[in-house]
A and B are shown apart, each in its own frame.
Chain A
């Protein structure tokens, strides 16, 4: 077969196919999403799905492993926080079919809230970890990860980073090999995590790790590239590629693919061969600390630092002090920050929130995080997926116990986030009588990660029609008797909905509902707005809606016809009625 150019994520999907994986479940999150977007290519032999959240996805995949088939889950680094509970217990129980958890970390936070280093999870949960450094390894190492999982009775954390996941390189494809599926037998001792069973499982976990460490010292996933013995480099993941580029060609390398447990005898053997030893890794001194604790001197983080992703130029400067020749042309570019798209349904909602100085609004993770940016400036906090409702609850309680009755608290999240982990926040508000208006911004899709289906969108990952769960039915089931459904593009109705919810005698919630304009399978009422320059007085009120299609030049508003979709939110705020939608 010819070589093809694949991203790391595409190669992982291909690897799952070739490894004989049969069940896969995930929740989208950058930079992991494309793994599962590519799995339906193999839907004839590999069932794949979007789960409501990463914990559910992990449990589904792990259940499939208990059921005897090879299974896969994948998530961004913070998704592993959500899934940590089943992961830690799966590490004690072990597997039947091979079970791999992909953690896609995001050094430099290209699209994340932190740059946590998930290698620590493997160590802390006591499970195997495999780290690929390019697309070929993404495919080949994934297949090896299933063998490790089954041989050593452990889940495997398959850890990538943004540059491994999203970079494209050449991959030699292979054929699918079906993995044997044993007959299903109930195994209470192994899979029921009572304290007595866990007590017996823990020593097995320690034994398995020891056996895996010994095996890892001879595995082809960990390899020495011996050249001149003056300088040796230990590296893994994408940092290996940077180090290969930066260190002289005659440098010796120990390239690690299995990084938990670290193959310490192999490391010791390599360290003994070289005069000067470097450990090159992004983020935390995960390998370096363990190598030093084993009594092996090495150089690492004192030069490379703890933060942000590496690149060859940065690494060259850190190690050899060679600064790249960088030219300053003397003209600065203006930033192009991410903003809500023209016609985004969230705009009308956030415009309404921003007009009330007494509103306190706890937001969430999604496109609507952009409601925090000026000029909308309508959010007080964003913490995590599903935190919108529950953080709002804490704010309301803080105001309540300190007698600050002038604040009106809203908790805001999207439809996909509601199904992910917002429902429990709604239950909390109802159960503990929170003075909070929960708001679901229902645009019928998982927007920010690039339009994945969710339990409310009516379709599955594999493109089949699915039950479409109604947000209002869930909220009513939680006890919100007054669920107000409003079109956020109608600013008067939006304001009325907010006031009605605040005045409601019974528990009230708002659903701000309009589909995302970028959903391809839906028909949208696309039009265009135009400025009547005779009426426009250049007051710039239209700029307060934060639409990238509007600008004001020479005291007249201008609408970019290439961007405008005719949502009319700007027209509704114009005091001179100078903006109209064209017929």
Chain B
């Protein structure tokens, strides 16, 4: 693949975006791609906005992209989708978890949680919206929400040439293997 692909995984600290990025990277490495991944640490209190960038192709130079350069944004929380919408290419794709985390500023009454986030995204981009929290809950463990979203991401990016189920099985702890494989399938089928 001559062209380098760039994915941005965004969410709120503690939602499992980083583990998801690791699964993505493990699969891409197995498929023989050059891969670079970038995340910012520090000031790492819980509840902050977090983003991880993953880039892959025959040869990747920069680990970092700027606005207007992402092929896909996977938003683990829907306000985070609009926060990072400027990173998407005009023909980019968004996978959005229809799930709301207010955050400290909204909770303290200093600002209102924005309305119309999904509609705003859908008006500009190809979007795949799902309630991954609900799906994960139905599977018996809300913590597998990240893998549900990962399944949707694989579908959205048409990355079926990689055996993601074996990558997931090798990356997550054995006792969560079945749950995460079910979460992956549910996410894949949800979009």
Chain A interfacial positions (CB closer than 8 Å to B): 3, 5, 30-31, 33-34, 110-112, 134, 162-163, 166-170, 238, 241-242, 244-245, 309, 311-314, 324-341, 367, 370, 374-375, 448-450, 540, 543, 546, 548-552, 560, 563
Contact = CB atoms under 8 A, between A and B. Distances in A.
A324 B47 contact: no
Given A163-B63, A543-B109, 8 more contacts: A30-B43, A31-B42, A169-B36, A245-B61, A327-B85, A337-B104, A448-B44, A546-B108
Nearest to B53: A167
Interface of B: 12, 25, 29, 34-49, 60-69, 79-80, 82-83, 85-86, 88-90, 102-117, 120-121, 123-125
Nearest to B90: A325
19 contacts: A31-B41, A33-B41, A111-B41, A134-B36, A168-B36, A168-B38, A169-B37, A238-B62, A238-B63, A311-B66, A312-B66, A329-B82, A329-B85, A331-B115, A331-B116, A334-B106, A336-B12, A338-B43, A548-B103
Given A166-B41, A167-B36, A450-B44, A333 B83 contact: yes
A314 to B, nearest CB: 5
Given A327-B85, A339-B104, A312 B41 contact: no
Contact of A334 (B61, B89, B114): B114
Nearest to B38: A167
A312 B111 contact: no
A339 B124 CA distance: 33
Given A543-B108, A543-B109, A327 B64 contact: no
A167 B34 CA distance: 13
Contact of A111 (B42, B88, B112): B42
A341 B46 contact: yes
B43 A448 contact: yes
A241 B62 contact: yes
Contacts of A3: 29
Contacts of B107: 543, 548-551, 560
Which are the 9 A-B pairs with shortest beta-carbon distances? A111-B42, A313-B66, A324-B68, A167-B63, A30-B42, A333-B83, A551-B107, A311-B66, A548-B104
A450 B34 CA distance: 30
A166 B66 contact: no
B105 A337 contact: yes
Contacts of A336: 12, 47-49, 103-105
Given A311-B64, A324-B68, A370-B45, A334 B38 contact: no
